[in-house]
Amino acid sequence: MEGWGRYPRHESQAIDCWLPEALAGTVTSRTGLIGRGNGRSYGDAAIGEYSTLMCRGLSRMRRFDPSSATLTVEAGVMLSDILRSFVPRGYFPPVVPGTKFVTVGGMIASDVHGKNHHRDGGFGDHVIEFKLVVASGEVLTCSRTHNPELFFATVGGMGMTGIVEEATFRLRPIESGWIAQKTIVAENLGEALKALQQTEDATYSVAWIDTLSQGASLGRSLIFVGEHATLDQLAGMPRADRFAAKDAGVVSLPFDLPQWLLNKTSVAAFNELYFRAGARKAAKTSLVHWDKYFFPLDGILEWNRLYGRRGFLQHQCVVPAEDALPVLSGILDRFARSGKGSFLAVLKKLGGGNGLLSFPSPGYTLALDLPVTQEVFGLLDEIDELVVRAGGRLYLAKDARQSRQTFEAGYTRLAAFKELRKVTGADRHFNSRLAKRLGI
């Protein structure tokens, strides 16, 4: 079994689950179990130590209340299904990550953040309540007032408190399925951070960084700022097109690309083209379909095969705002000098996270992915040093390799989390390979 990054790979027995009623029996009779949604966490977070509960069968929506825009769904419901059903009806999920092929259970376990985190917080902040199957097999309703300790341990808790059976959260009303996007060009990292700071009032903002530029243009970026387009911005658009559906994911990578294809020259060429294309659009507002704005990579199904059979690592850290410029410069510089170019380098501003193990904390997050090679591990260890010294941390949903020291330095509420695991008996039943590796 492997995660989206295809590294690492572990043996784990897959257990199918088709009915919510069956969860309790499975949980009480197992140890070393972890829930798995659509397998989009990158590393070993959704690989059970011994067994892995495949939750995709828990895919039924339970009810939608239009008066409050609250939706209750089973944990295996995919974000793509929610979008397909509700965008045409004028609603959008409160928070979406960079792919729509994730389940609601996974979004809670990872307390996923989106391009609106600086303003709206993580997915967990919009969850009203959920039902959690705990180690004893009991199904507990958790909210901010009901079992709050379990609620805040489960949000961002990477499945280590139990199995989420169903969850209730609020959708946001939208006037159209389009995003009004503005592109800002930043010539270096300092400008990029400033632009993200200045666009804090915008609903969505994210920066794409050219990781290969060095020196004075280290961190040159395109910042994409977006708002849900209002009806008057769509003047003249036929009614039927306002929520235009789009069947994404038509192209699929049918094979693994050879590793030599992804080298410094090809990435540099791609980055240059991408940067220039973006810069041409700067200053004017354009309408972008929601699917393309939020999920550009979903258009290529199985894009993880870009990186060849050996897989890839994603490194996503967050560092506090005060030192962000020197620390992130140091990290980017280190990457640029190593020549390990990355197609995808993303920078964005985060607010705080509320779960005990939630990744987001106030500051800036930088995400890059790198093909798995022998040298890359040493490079990432060095970069982790910079992150830890700045008081930052790494995103567990994407982690495949950080050390226990790095993890413990970053997650300061770990002791409370472990204590809760012990008290609820979760430590005896729920363990992923990630939990083992990091000693949780």
Beta-carbon count within 10 A of 421 CB: 22
Q: Is 249 in the site for another protein (CB under 8 A)?
A: no
Given 18, 29, 68, 144, the residue binding another protein (CB under 8 A): 18
Q: Closest CB to another protein among 18 and 50? A: 18
Q: Closest CB to another protein among 16 and 241? A: 16
Q: Closest CB to another protein among 91 and 307? A: 91
User: What is d(CA 86, CA 79) in angstroms, rounded to the nearest whole number?
Assistant: 10
Question: Minimum distance between the CB of residue 64 and another protein, rounded to whole angstroms?
Answer: 5
Q: Is 268 in the site for another protein (CB under 8 A)?
A: no
Question: Minimum distance between the CB of residue 171 and another protein, rounded to whole angstroms?
Answer: 12
Q: Closest CB to another protein among 102 and 350? A: 102
Question: Minimum distance between the CB of residue 66 and another protein, rounded to whole angstroms?
Answer: 8
What φ, ψ does residue 161 adopt, rounded to 5°? -105, -20
Helix (H, G, I), strand (E, B) or coil at 292: helix
Given 41, 51, 52, 72, the residue binding another protein (CB under 8 A): 72
Query: Does the CA dihedral 247-124-76-429 come out positive or negative?
Result: positive
Query: Does the CA dihedral 249-251-255-258 come out positive or negative?
Result: negative
Q: Closest CB to another protein among 242 and 436? A: 242
Segment lying near another protein (by CB under 8 A), choices 66-74, 102-110, 309-317, 428-436:
66-74
User: What is d(CA 181, CA 339) in angstroms, rounded to the nearest whole number?
Assistant: 32
Given 9, 29, 60, 261, the residue binding another protein (CB under 8 A): 60
Q: Closest CB to another protein among 65 and 200? A: 65
Q: Is 62 in the site for another protein (CB under 8 A)?
A: yes
Given 23, 71, 192, 248, the residue binding another protein (CB under 8 A): 71
User: What is d(CA 183, CA 225) in angstroms, rounded to the nearest whole number?
Assistant: 6
In this structure, the dihedral spanned by the alpha carbons of residues 55, 245, 276 and 190, taken in order and rounded to 10 degrees, is: -50
Structure tokens, 368? 């890059």
One-letter amino acid of 273: L
CA distances from 405 to 44, 204, 322, 379 (A): 18, 34, 23, 16
The terminus-to-terminus CA distance of the chain in angstroms comes to 21
Q: Closest CB to another protein among 64 and 243? A: 64
Helix (H, G, I), strand (E, B) or coil at 22: helix
Given 1, 15, 24, 61, the residue binding another protein (CB under 8 A): 61
Angle at 426 between CA 161 and CA 121, to 5 degrees: 15
Read off the DSSP letter of residue 166. E
Nearest alpha carbon to residue 387 among 418, 369, 363 = 363
Given 13, 16, 282, 352, the residue binding another protein (CB under 8 A): 16
Segment lying near another protein (by CB under 8 A), choices 69-77, 231-239, 267-275, 290-298:
69-77
Instruction: Let me know: does 207 contact 218? Beta carbons within 8 Å.
Output: no
Helix (H, G, I), strand (E, B) or coil at 370: strand
Helix (H, G, I), strand (E, B) or coil at 372: coil
Question: Minimum distance between the CB of residue 57 and another protein, rounded to whole angstroms?
Answer: 7
Question: Minimum distance between the CB of residue 103 and another protein, rounded to whole angstroms?
Answer: 15
Given 57, 90, 190, 249, the residue binding another protein (CB under 8 A): 57
User: What is d(CA 175, CA 231) in angstroms, rounded to the nearest whole number?
Assistant: 6
Question: Minimum distance between the CB of residue 74 and another protein, rounded to whole angstroms?
Answer: 9
Q: Is 19 in the site for another protein (CB under 8 A)?
A: yes
Pick out residues in 74-133 that bind another protein (CB under 8 A): 81, 85, 89
What φ, ψ does residue 336 adopt, rounded to 5°? -60, -40
Given 27, 33, 45, 73, the residue binding another protein (CB under 8 A): 73
User: What is d(CA 398, CA 106) in angstroms, rounded to the nearest whole number?
Assistant: 12
Q: Is 227 in the site for another protein (CB under 8 A)?
A: no
Question: Minimum distance between the CB of residue 61 and another protein, rounded to whole angstroms?
Answer: 4
Q: Closest CB to another protein among 89 and 264? A: 89
Q: Name the site residues for another protein (rule: CB under 8 A).
A: 16, 18-19, 57, 60-64, 66, 71-73, 81, 85, 89
